[in-house]
Structure 1
Amino acid sequence: MLTKKRYSVKEMVLWTRGETLIYLSYAAVLTVLYEVVGLTFLNVPWTPVALIGTAVAFMVGFQNNAAYERIWEARKIWGAIVNTSRTWGMKVQDLVRVDREGDVENQINLSEDRQILVYRHIAWLTALRYAMRSRKSWETQHRAITNQEWRKRIHTPEYITKLEESLEPYLSETEQAYVLSKSNKQAAILYLQSRHLRALKDKGILKEFTFLNLEDVLEELFTHQGQTERIKNFPYPRQYATLSLYLTRIFAILLPFGIIPEFAEIGEEMLEEFNRVGRYFIWLAIPFCAVVSWAFHVMERMARVGENPFEGTANDVPISTISRSIEINLREMLDEPDSEIPKQFPEEMNVQM
């Protein structure tokens, strides 16, 4: 499986360190006001806090399930792209041929045609992954400071190299100019593939059955393209995401008001038997509040990160790696030397892009 990441506890803590410090500081300030300053009216009954926590758990759980479904569906689509791409390479190799033996000139010409058809497919993969990495107005995770730190360390290929440079090895100058002039560049490349097949059919090289067989593969590629574009262009409904975010923050704000008095009461009950522990037990409310708030925050943030599986974060479907893997496979089937075939994008921080 090409999916990627292995998070350690250290990486998770670093990813959320800013919010963790806020939760610790907030709980510490309220504890000091309650215990030292004597503002004991800073008290909220535990029942409403628990009810809000239950509502937050349901909302965040629903959001996480929906986000995971989007990620998993995207991964299945790109798995289908892998299979269809290999099918395309196989059929181009075996069907775009002259049946007559001894027709050396046409065999040589068709060898060039086969390479063009395979290379153009690699261009389609390239254009598709660049389209999936393009920014949408609702994709905001790249603005978070900790996510920006990750981006500096993992180097997403589509944000380093321009599309024009990546397409250049696989399209002629005329085709590249045509493709770049279109808004949906990946669709334009599939149109070029179909025109090429039609030209071979008109020359009598491809029989009707062979032509339709190859056109069916192009139809499959259009289907996969439409499916991945649907996920990219249709965001997770913002009313659900916004409500989860606000409820999580409200719960984090109210939590210390319910926890601190509870810990103070428990400490008073412990004074007779465990005097030393009981006097300071209220201060345990600080890490306890921070841990609970952190847990809810992490679940909500993981859902927000997973909503858009092509945004270019460490949690995305590794479409760059998948595309390069297909490219390597197809060029190996053309019997190209290893020195001319590009290497796989390297893993950085245990992340495939």
Structure 2
Amino acid sequence: MLTKKKYSIKDMVKWTRWETASFLAHTAIVVILFHVLEFSFLHVPWTPVALVGTAVAFIIGFQNSAAYGRIWEARKIWGGIVNSSRTWGMKVKDMVTNEYASDKVNQEELDKHIKALIYRHIGWITSLRYAMREPRTWEVFSQHRTNKEWSDAICIPEVVQEQSKELSNYLSDEELKYVLSKKNKAAACLYLQSTHLRKLKEKGLIWEFSFLELENLLEEFFTLQGKSERIKNFPYPRQYATLSYYFVWMFLILIPFGLVPEFAEIGRKMTSRFPEIGQYFIWAAIPFCGIVSWIFHTMMRIGTVGENPFEGTANDVPISTISRGIEIDLRQLMGEENESIPDQFPQQYDVQM
């Protein structure tokens, strides 16, 4: 979703080139039938076509507004995950101490607990981003020809890397086995976190008040996870998506039947003064109809690809980049060497994943 440069018209035309070709071909057929073969009955009054176009504009506007709302909400949720994750790292680092412990342990043992809590948190974020990338039946982005070209050209981390291998970097073998046995792996990581905190509280390595603070943060993580899952598992209402699709295509089919006769009439009026232009003016309907059709269809497609903000498209929330950024921050704050910390996922075609 986050790009370093604006989309160019060239990119948009390439993305919609097959539909644009069909719009031009459809209009050319109508012009040939109406002008060359003189099928004058192929005439739809422009007023009803304009009324349909007005209704379609409202529908597309509603769809785009709803899609943008879903994207923006998802971005705010993952922004909350970033902030809460940094808070988690800070509190774990400063709250796991010997201050209230009856049997004090050495600093190496404390660092071991701190590292386990922070690494397990990174495991939670990793599990969550993999869950958000799992396909749903209503996610149809990759089914479109030009969308599939994009999917084939990029490497979405959650697609090319195995989840179990990624989680093995942050969880012990026993924890990994437990997490992989659960359907909701992210929730399983948070359960492990709570169990670990309780054991530390019982040993006195976490003060009771600190325990409540960290438990409240786990509750916040559950809340943010649930909000993210709500967007993932509840699609844009199908009745609106389906009706929008059919109404737009109905309007796109009608446009040439309303505009071509109008261009023919304008050409006849121009013939007396500009005969050479007037007799061919009807052919100008082809690019004009193509542009109008392209605008309506492209706006519909923009709304469609924005309905599900976790598919890995160029317009989605870059949860892979956000997750890796959190990992880098937490591990650097723990004092790890930069050589041991993984690099950020590279941008592909100026797009963050």
> TM-score, structure 1 length as denominator?
0.97
Counterpart CA distance in 1 for 2:287 and 2:176 is 58
Report the secondary structure of 1:139's partner residue: coil
Q: Is the 8 A contact 1:31 1:260 kept in 2?
A: yes
Counterpart CA distance in 2 for 1:213 and 1:61 is 44
Deviations along 1:166-220, one digit per CA (max 9) or x if unpaired, are 1011001110010011010000000000000000011121111010011011111
Counterpart CA distance in 2 for 1:24 and 1:165 is 50
Aligned match of 2:314: 314
Counterparts in 2 of 1:203 and 1:104: CA distance versus 1, 3 Å: closer
Work out whether 1:305 is the aligned partner of 2:305: yes
Deviations along 1:135-178, one digit per CA (max 9) or x if unpaired, are 11100111111111111222111110011111011001110010
Shift of 1:33: 1.1
Shift of 1:7: 1.6
Report the secondary structure of 1:19's partner residue: helix
Aligned match of 1:31: 31
Q: Is the 8 A contact 1:120 1:193 kept in 2?
A: yes
Shift of 1:105: 4.0
Aligned match of 1:224: 224
Instruction: Map residues 88-167 of structure 1 onto 2, 5 A cutoff.
Output: 88-99=88-99, 105-167=105-167
Shift of 1:257: 0.3
Aligned match of 1:68: 68
Q: Which residue identity lines up with residue 3 of structure 1 in the other structure?
A: L
When structure 1 is superposed on structure 2, of 28-37 and 65-74 the one drifting more is 28-37
Runs of at least 5 residues in structure 2 that lack an aligned partner in the other structure? none
Q: Is the 8 A contact 1:142 1:313 kept in 2?
A: no
Q: Which residue identity lines up with residue 96 of structure 2 in the other structure?
A: V
Counterpart CA distance in 1 for 2:325 and 2:48 is 53
Q: Which residue identity lines up with residue 215 of structure 1 in the other structure?
A: E
Aligned match of 1:207: 207
Counterpart CA distance in 1 for 2:177 and 2:7 is 42
Q: Which residue identity lines up with residue 116 of structure 1 in the other structure?
A: A
Q: Is the 8 A contact 2:98 2:204 kept in 1?
A: no
Counterpart CA distance in 2 for 1:14 and 1:7 is 11
Aligned match of 1:326: 326
Q: Is the 8 A contact 1:68 1:306 kept in 2?
A: yes
Aligned match of 1:255: 255
Counterpart CA distance in 2 for 1:167 and 1:4 is 28
Q: Which residue identity lines up with residue 2 of structure 2 in the other structure?
A: T
Q: Is the 8 A contact 2:75 2:317 kept in 1?
A: yes
Shift of 1:4: 3.1
Counterpart CA distance in 2 for 1:218 and 1:264 is 69
User: What count of residue pairs does the alignment treat as equivalent?
Assistant: 351
